[in-house]
């Protein structure tokens, strides 16, 4: 059983949504496990995806009384999914970003555990994801001590991003139903309560979304104050690199594209490039390279480097197109970059699913200079779309992108180590240099398009981990 605060096709703010959408399907396809998903029903969830109202009256013990909630059932994601319908918490337009987020997801955790009781058979393993599931981790551990219905259920906790810890006022712990003493103390982190920390202490095993990130988070530089905990539990920590859902991200079938193509015949990609230039109102200069970025606009994604190198990117002679929303500092900077060179720079501020596919297909180079990156999905989507990634060698970016080697003809992208604008621009120039040699460029594109980053291999690793966890 997977718990996740977001999951495609029901909801998505970033990569967690993609993963929690694709993994259950891939696990089911292994035929080895019986898997389903529990996730909140948000106002962004399309009603057409819901198959039936499963429970009209799931009573959840909450803040000292019993709260009635509804549960919907769906198979629209390919695997069975249960959606917790509590409009007072989840029908709010956005998925995160409210003052009571801790209460909202503590409720989600409580409701999901109550639902397990109602469904009847206790799962062997509950797979929890990120800080919103930290509460469930603690309650599952407590239930084990009491010998309750879920006392034989074990937990795997996946870290998708250690920097988001779900911090809140410790004064709320008691109100949310946590016992004073060890249980409440487990939340304490730098004077605040942190759902992630308590969840990581209480779970049976921990995974992260790439191998390199699993090591990085054990160091003080990347441990966000929890490196000691991860070192302490390192014998229970594993890195499994995310996969790509090739049903959704496939240039041969992608419904959002102006034309289709694959590794055998790339001609459709040129049409997609033309379509992209038109969408952004840029001149139809098909031989000029397009450098692209699709991202949450936060420091994690390396926008400080892009900000420093804005002039150099424009001077490189390439188009630059960006899709993103987030910090106003970066939104303003993108606006300035556009205003400085309106015929070279195209920006779209906001969230736009179809456009994210059109960029992957129409661009030549995908720029992802992350400060840190637990896994990263866009570099893998780019490769499938024949768009060559230029990335910083960190976390999952380092694990999935291999530097192009001219002598051997190997490699699927370009990566740099130091977190400096200079190193980034150097790599971008190297990529642009090879772009100007179409035969060489084709080799790099095909190396990426033929790479197998499907979920099948990752799902098999999760099955192994679930088996180990169930036996703990
Ligand atoms: P993260 O989860 O840290 O944001 P990932 O690379 O794992 O990074 O996943 C990001 C996902 O969110 C990708 O599917 C990407 O296409 C999508 N995404 C990010 N920003 C936007 C946006 N503004 N519009 C549409 N999709 C976006
Ligand atoms: C997080 C990370 C990203 C990862 C995604 C899915 O949001 O920032 O690197 O790909 O989760 O695991």
Q: In what order do the strands lie in the sheet with 414-416?
A: 345-349, 319-326, 290-297, 365-368, 388-392, 414-416
Is residue 402 within 8 Å of residue 411, measured between CB atoms?
Answer: yes
| H helix and E strand count, the chain | 19, 18
112-149 CB burial, b ≥16 within 10 A, e <16? bbbbbeebeebbbbbbbbbbbbbbbbbbbbbbbeeebe
Question: In angstroms, what is the span from residue 122 Cα to ligand 2's centroid?
Answer: 29
Residues in a beta bridge with 156: 127, 205
Return the pLDDT at 148.
84
Which residue in 251, 248, 230 sits closest to 239, CA to CA? Answer: 230
Q: How far apart are CA 105 and CA 119, in angstroms?
A: 21
Q: How far apart are CA 248 and CA 265, in angstroms?
A: 20
Terminus-to-terminus CA distance in the chain, angstroms? Answer: 17
Question: Which atom of ligand 1 approaches the CA of 19 most closely?
Answer: 7
Give the closest residue (by CA) to ligand 2 atom 5: 15
CATH node for 267-452? 3.40.50.2000
Burial class (CB in 10 A: 0-12, 13-18, 19+), 190: exposed
Give the closest residue (by CA) to ligand 1 atom 17: 14
Question: In angstroms, what is the span from residue 92 Cα to ligand 1's centroid?
Answer: 21
Number of Cα atoms under 13 Å in the Cβ half of residue 376 = 35
Structure tokens that stand for 276 in this block:
């992209």
Question: In angstroms, what is the span from residue 97 Cα to ligand 1's centroid?
Answer: 17
Return the pLDDT at 147.
75
Question: Which atom of ligand 2 approaches the CA of 377 most closely?
Answer: 10
Q: Which ligand gives the minimal distance to the CA of 397?
A: 2
H/E element, 362:
helix 353-362
Tell me which of 5, 15, 213 to substitute to probe ligand 1's pocket, judged by most ligand atoms within 8 Å of the beta carbon.
15
15 lines ligand 1 (CB under 6 A): yes
364 lines ligand 1 (CB under 6 A): no
Give the closest residue (by CA) to ligand 2 atom 7: 15
Q: In what order do the strands lie in the sheet with 154-159?
A: 52-62, 65-74, 81-85, 37-40, 2-3, 125-129, 154-159, 205-208, 237-239
Question: In angstroms, what is the span from residue 323 Cα to ligand 1's centroid?
Answer: 10
425 lines ligand 1 (CB under 6 A): no
**φ, ψ for residue 467, nearest 5 deg:** -60, -45
Question: In angstroms, what is the span from residue 377 Cα to ligand 1's centroid?
Answer: 8
| pLDDT values of the chain reduced to their tens digit, one per residue, 472 residues | 999 999 999 999 999 999 999 999 999 999 999 999 999 999 999 999 999 999 999 999 999 999 999 999 999 999 999 999 999 999 999 999 999 999 999 999 999 999 999 999 999 999 999 999 999 999 999 998 877 899 999 999 999 999 999 999 999 999 999 999 999 999 999 999 999 999 999 999 999 999 999 999 999 999 999 999 999 999 999 999 999 999 999 999 999 999 999 999 999 999 999 999 999 999 999 999 999 999 999 999 999 999 999 999 999 999 999 999 999 999 999 999 999 999 999 999 999 999 999 999 999 999 999 999 999 999 999 999 999 999 999 999 999 999 999 999 999 999 999 999 999 999 999 999 999 999 999 999 999 999 999 999 999 999 999 999 999 8
Question: Which atom of ligand 1 approaches the CA of 300 most closely?
Answer: 3
Q: Which ligand gives the minimal distance to the CA of 131?
A: 2
Q: What residues line ligand 2, using a CB cutoff of 6 Å? A: 14-16, 19, 160-161, 209, 242, 373-377, 396
Return the pLDDT at 146.
75
Question: In angstroms, what is the span from residue 396 Cα to ligand 2's centroid?
Answer: 9
376 lines ligand 1 (CB under 6 A): yes
Question: In angstroms, what is the span from residue 318 Cα to ligand 2's centroid?
Answer: 28
Whether the domain at 2-243+456-470 and the domain at 267-452 fall into the same CATH topology: yes
352 lines ligand 1 (CB under 6 A): yes
Give the closest residue (by CA) to ligand 2 atom 10: 376
Question: In angstroms, what is the span from residue 18 Cα to ligand 1's centroid?
Answer: 9
Tell me which of 160, 239, 380 to substitute to probe ligand 2's pocket, judged by most ligand atoms within 8 Å of the beta carbon.
160
Is residue 385 within 8 Å of residue 361, measured between CB atoms?
Answer: yes
356 lines ligand 1 (CB under 6 A): yes
Is residue 90 within 8 Å of residue 107, measured between CB atoms?
Answer: no
Tell me which of 356, 370, 394 to substitute to probe ligand 1's pocket, judged by most ligand atoms within 8 Å of the beta carbon.
356
113 lines ligand 1 (CB under 6 A): no
Q: How far apart are CA 70 and CA 59, in angstroms?
A: 9
CATH superfamily entry for domain 2-243+456-470:
Glycogen Phosphorylase B; (3.40.50.2000)
Q: How far apart are CA 87 and CA 83, in angstroms?
A: 12
Domain boundaries, the chain: 2-243+456-470, 267-452
Question: In angstroms, what is the span from residue 377 Cα to ligand 2's centroid?
Answer: 7
Is residue 321 within 8 Å of residue 292, measured between CB atoms?
Answer: yes
Residues in a beta bridge with 159: 208
The 3-state DSSP class for residue 318 equals coil
């Amino acid at each position: 059983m997977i718990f996740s605060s977001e999951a495609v096709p029901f909801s998505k703010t970033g990569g967690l949504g993609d993963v929690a959408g694709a993994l259950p399907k891939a696990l089911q396809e292994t035929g080895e496990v019986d898997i389903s998903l529990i996730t909140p029903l948000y106002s962004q969830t399309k009603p057409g995806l819901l198959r039936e109202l499963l429970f009209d009256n799931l009573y959840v013990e909450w803040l000292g009384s019993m709260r009635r909630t509804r549960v919907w059932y769906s198979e629209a994601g390919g695997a069975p999914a249960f959606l917790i319908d509590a409009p007072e918490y989840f029908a709010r337009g956005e998925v995160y970003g409210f003052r009571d987020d801790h209460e909202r997801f503590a409720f989600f955790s409580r409701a999901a555990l109550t639902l397990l009781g109602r469904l009847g058979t206790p799962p062997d393993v509950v797979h929890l994801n990120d800080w919103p599931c930290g509460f469930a981790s603690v309650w599952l551990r407590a239930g084990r001590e009491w010998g309750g219905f879920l006392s034989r259920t074990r937990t795997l906790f996946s870290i998708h991003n250690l920097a988001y810890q779900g911090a809140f006022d410790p004064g709320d712990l008691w109100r949310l139903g946590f016992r004073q003493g060890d249980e409440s103390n487990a939340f304490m982190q730098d004077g605040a309560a942190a759902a992630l920390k308590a969840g990581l202490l209480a779970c049976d095993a921990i995974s992260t979304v790439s191998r390199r990130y699993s090591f990085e988070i054990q160091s003080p530089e990347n441990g966000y104050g929890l490196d000691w905990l991860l070192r302490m539990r390192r014998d229970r920590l594993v890195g499994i690199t995310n996969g790509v859902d090739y049903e959704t991200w496939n240039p041969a079938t992608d419904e959002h594209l102006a034309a289709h193509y694959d590794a055998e015949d790339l001609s459709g990609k040129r049409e997609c490039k033309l379509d992209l230039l038109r969408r952004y109102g840029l001149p139809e200069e098909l031989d000029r390279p397009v450098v692209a970025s699709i991202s949450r606009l936060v420091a994690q994604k390396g926008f400080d480097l892009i900000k420093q190198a804005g002039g150099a990117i424009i001077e490189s002679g390439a188009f630059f197109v960006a899709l993103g929303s987030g910090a106003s500092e970066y939104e303003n900077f993108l606006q300035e970059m556009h205003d400085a060179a309106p015929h070279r720079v195209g920006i779209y501020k906001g969230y736009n699913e179809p456009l994210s596919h059109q960029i992957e297909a129409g661009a030549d180079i995908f720029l992802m200079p992350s400060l840190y990156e637990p896994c990263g999905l866009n570099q893998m989507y780019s490769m499938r779309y024949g768009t060559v990634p230029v990335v910083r060698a960190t976390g999952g970016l380092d694990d999935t992108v291999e530097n192009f080697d001219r002598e051997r003809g190997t490699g699927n992208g370009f990566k740099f180590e130091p977190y400096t604008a200079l190193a980034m621009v150097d790599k971008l120039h190297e990529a642009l240099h090879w772009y100007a040699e179409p035969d060489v460029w084709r080799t790099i594109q095909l190396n990426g398009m033929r790479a197998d980053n499907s979920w099948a291999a990752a799902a098999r690793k999760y099955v192994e981990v679930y088996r180990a966890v169930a036996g703990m």
